[in-house]
Chains A and B, each alone.
Chain A
Amino acid sequence: MSEEIRTGVYTCHCGSNIAATVDVKAVAEYAAKLPNVVVSRDYKYMCSDPGQDLIKQDIREHKLNRIVVASCSPHLHEHTFRTALAKGGLNEFLFQMVNIREQDSWVHLDKPAATVKAMDLVRAAVCRVALHKPLTKGSVPIRADVLVVGGGIAGIHAALTLANAGKKVYLVEREPTIGGHMAKFDKTFPTLDCAACILTPKMSSVRAHPNITLWSYSEVTQVDGYVGNFKVTVTRKPRYIMEDLCVGCLECIEACVYKEGKFVDEFNMGLSKRKPIYIPFPQAIPQVPVIDPETCIDFKTGKCKKSCVDACGERHAINLKMKETTEIIDVGTIILSTGFQVFDAHRSPEYGYGVYPNVYTALEIERLVNASGPTSGEVVLRDGKRPKSVAIIHCVGSRDEKNNRWCSRVCCMYSLKLAHLLKEHTDAEIFNFYIDIRTPGKGFEEFYQKLRNEGVHFIRGKVAEVTDWAFDPSEEGKLVIRVEDTLLGFARRIPVDMVVLATGLEPHADAQEVRRRFNLTCSSEGFFLERHPKLAPVSTFTDGVFLAGACQSPKDIPDTVAQAGAAAAEALALIDAGHVEIEPNTAFVLEEDCSGCRTCIPMCPFSAITFSEETKLASINQALCKGCGTCVASCPSGSIVQNLYDDEEIFAEIEGVLSNA
């Protein structure tokens, strides 16, 4: 190779983000003296248009053929600068980025040391980039079918958006019905429109949509493949009623040998009882009952007269011998909308949940105020009496060093909503105990004002405990809230009839398993991690997998729906492009050096390497290679090379870092 290397180095101030800790001018001056460097500049914001123009201009004027930009993380702006190179007429891979912000100026305090570090890293990049070769991006076709995992409001909205755009969608839901948490809510804040009225029509549309295949009572158990071409295994639990034969008359439930419900009704948060054969709620989708083998007499003893089967009669929809089945589907993109779980109030024992019967969780109250709930909307205590006073305790399990430290975002607003509904249903005196009231949303603050005008009490203080300890006769038979009123500045005891715990949102117990299945990362609190908190909030580090709703972080319905729409749009963008560009960082075998030892073959987790009996050489299938480089590291004769991460490039980088010029 006789090409003369002409490198341009650009060191970014990032306003004061870098310049405050790294002497940017000194770095640029230092870089100017490095081998092959023809141009070295520093600039306020390299990622801005004028910054990029600098590069393009210099490529032309100074005939640059290598570019180094020292700025932020390549995860943020590598793409930006590569595009600038391409626009300047240079192959975009003749570029190396140096991270002197996230991994230098932001993490160090010592300016001289941070500056030396920046110089070391720039020197390494200059050494490395000289060895870069022009490359072409790979391209993978994208299958048009989409998998949506989780049928809450996020999954429903994403599925409908995609289906309306003409894409085939598989919607997989773990529970017997779609609808998620929203189906359990009575009203939604701040508009107080009925949750069922706005949700159930969307649920019906899912069922009716020709482009949507709904698999409820099913779980994704395996995911193989990559963006554009995922192979997904879905396990369908037996519901013992054939969905295609059932007409949803529900006569089987009526006919069950249990005349009354006897088992905990999960949908009503245990406030009512169901039979072994049941439908979670009247508007459930699919409109097909399910049999719970744990409680059904026939499953337990084999000695039931099976009146449900008789009731079904000619339709023969009940099949007690149904087995678990699996479906394997090919999809190009995946949207995860697996939602959240509610904080278990038992974990804050000071609030007496499970000890005092009249301590409820917010979700229980949602069912209690709901007209189709266990009491038909009558708000009564467990002894049937109507509460005259209610305490709503905010931040249960949220903003709590002992439990979850994050703010669950929705509890303030749903507490206000429940305060309003409880007042409406019972005319009770309502007390809200809060740390801070957080109402940042459209119409939220106005709703808070409205509640204050309705005469709801707001007491600022984290409740110490809920107790039945009666101090004097006025507290007899009541639950006493002990709290420091931080606005009045003293401790108070407030006796009430009912306590509502505004429990927070947390990741599902099996979020880690799900994360592994989809090859995702979780943030420290256990929610799925987005690719970038601001600029790629629905993408993940796994291409082709997108996030929607509370599985990414706690969020309310408007935000969830907006994110679901965004995730659908991201999937559509990939599908409509028809293909996705991939990094050309694949590995390949230099045939003349390969000894045919086959060491590399078991190294590849993707079975991309094959051994030819004819030539006695290994070869790598470029379509299957994902560019991890494990085979390169294992090759004893150094005959496997990897684009972008080749041995000589990495050695040059190491030498560059360590040579104290």
Chain B
Amino acid sequence: MPEAVEPKILAIFCNWCTYLAADLAGTSRIKYPANIRVVRVMCSGRVDPQFVMDAFAKGADGVLIGGCHPGDCHYQEGNYKCLRRFELLRRMVKEMGIEDERFRLEWISASEGDRLRTVVTDMVEKIRPLGPRQTLTEVTQ
């Protein structure tokens, strides 16, 4: 059983839905674990697969992408583009020995502060028992 340490999750949230949901969670004083660090982009469609790879390479224990619900994208369909990339990227990430729990894409609208809490809490709870993420070199050794 790996030792439980506080995982660090890099979150990339779109400006119009999930970033606002995180703001709403704040104004509603909803509490969730302090493990996530949010990077804001205008649209989840902006999420370059390299951002995710880079985050894992630099030691993130998890990566969470947040976008608008299907049909709700501020830019019409950026979230669909994100979904397609995510499905492919997820397989790659897995092949690199990174557990499924560490990489998530979630649709969280601006009114869903509560859902943001649920997602973040759930992700932290699922990652924590996995322990610190092994780097590629550790995996191959």
Contact = CB atoms under 8 A, between A and B. Distances in A.
Interface of A: 73-75, 99, 101-104, 106-110, 113-114, 116-117, 120-121, 124, 516, 519, 521-524, 529, 541-542, 585, 603, 605-606, 626-630, 632-634, 642, 645, 647, 650-651, 653-655, 657-660
Nearest to A17: B26
Contact of B26 (A102, A524, A657): A102
Contact of B34 (A110, A541, A654): A110
Given A633-B47, A633-B48, A651-B51, A107 B26 contact: yes
Contacts of B76: 605
B111 A106 contact: no
A521 B14 CA distance: 14
Nearest 9 A/B pairs, CB to CB: A102-B26, A629-B46, A630-B45, A628-B75, A628-B43, A113-B34, A106-B26, A605-B76, A658-B58
A480 B114 CA distance: 41
7 contacts: A110-B34, A541-B16, A605-B76, A628-B75, A630-B78, A650-B41, A654-B58
Contacts of B23: 73, 75, 99, 102-103
B43 A630 contact: yes
A128 to B, nearest CB: 9
A486 to B, nearest CB: 30
B34 A632 contact: no
Contacts of A653: 39
A633 B38 contact: no
B27 A645 contact: no
B37 A106 contact: no
A104 B47 CA distance: 23
B39 A108 contact: no
Contacts of A657: 10, 37, 39
Contacts of A102: 22-23, 25-27
A112 to B, nearest CB: 9
A647 B32 CA distance: 29
A635 B120 CA distance: 31
A650 B85 CA distance: 18
Contacts of B111: 521-524, 529
Contact of A529 (B31, B60, B110): B110
Nearest to A533: B27
Contact of A541 (B33, B40, B41, B110): B110
Given A75-B20, A102-B22, A109 B42 contact: no
B74 interface: yes
A108 B46 contact: no
A293 to B, nearest CB: 32
A658 B22 CA distance: 20
Nearest to A120: B37
Given A110-B34, A523-B111, A630-B78, 5 more contacts: A102-B27, A113-B35, A630-B46, A633-B47, A653-B39
Contacts of A121: 37-38
B112 to A, nearest CB: 7
Contact of B110 (A103, A120, A519, A521): A521
A654 B40 contact: no
A163 to B, nearest CB: 31
A529 B49 CA distance: 32
A633 B46 contact: yes
Contacts of A606: 75
B75 A605 contact: yes
A120 B38 CA distance: 10
B29 A645 contact: no
Contacts of A542: 74
A651 B58 CA distance: 10
A529 B20 CA distance: 11
A523 B85 CA distance: 29
Contacts of B51: 650-651, 654
Question: Which of the listed residues A107, A541, A659 has the most CB atoms from chain B within 10 Å of its own CB?
Answer: A107
B8 A628 contact: no
B138 interface: no
A227 B55 CA distance: 36
Contacts of A603: 45, 81
A107 B42 contact: no
B74 A630 contact: no
Nearest to B13: A103
Interface in B70-123: 71-72, 74-78, 81, 85, 109-112, 114, 117
B68 to A, nearest CB: 9
B113 to A, nearest CB: 8
A150 B22 CA distance: 32
Given A629-B45, A629-B46, A645-B42, A521 B17 contact: yes
A113 B59 CA distance: 18
Contacts of B25: 102-103, 106-107
A642 B109 CA distance: 25
Contacts of B33: 108, 113
B26 to A, nearest CB: 3
A628 B20 contact: no
Contact of A628 (B42, B60, B114): B42
Given A633-B45, A645-B46, A658-B58, A104 B110 contact: no
B31 A108 contact: yes
Nearest to A647: B48
Contacts of B26: 73, 101-103, 106-107
Contacts of B38: 99, 103, 121
Contacts of B81: 603, 630, 633-634
Given A529-B110, A541-B16, A654-B55, A107 B30 contact: yes
Nearest to B85: A633
B3 interface: no
A124 B39 contact: yes
Contact of A658 (B8, B30, B35, B47): B8
Contacts of A109: 31
B32 A107 contact: yes
B109 A521 contact: yes
Nearest to B55: A654
A634 B88 CA distance: 13
Contacts of A521: 16-17, 20, 72, 109-111
Contacts of B47: 633
A422 to B, nearest CB: 39
Nearest to A660: B59
Contacts of B43: 628-630
A455 to B, nearest CB: 44
A645 B41 contact: yes
Contacts of B20: 75, 521, 541
B39 A650 contact: yes
Given A104-B34, A521-B16, A650-B41, A605 B77 contact: yes
A542 to B, nearest CB: 8
A605 B78 contact: yes
A655 B60 CA distance: 10
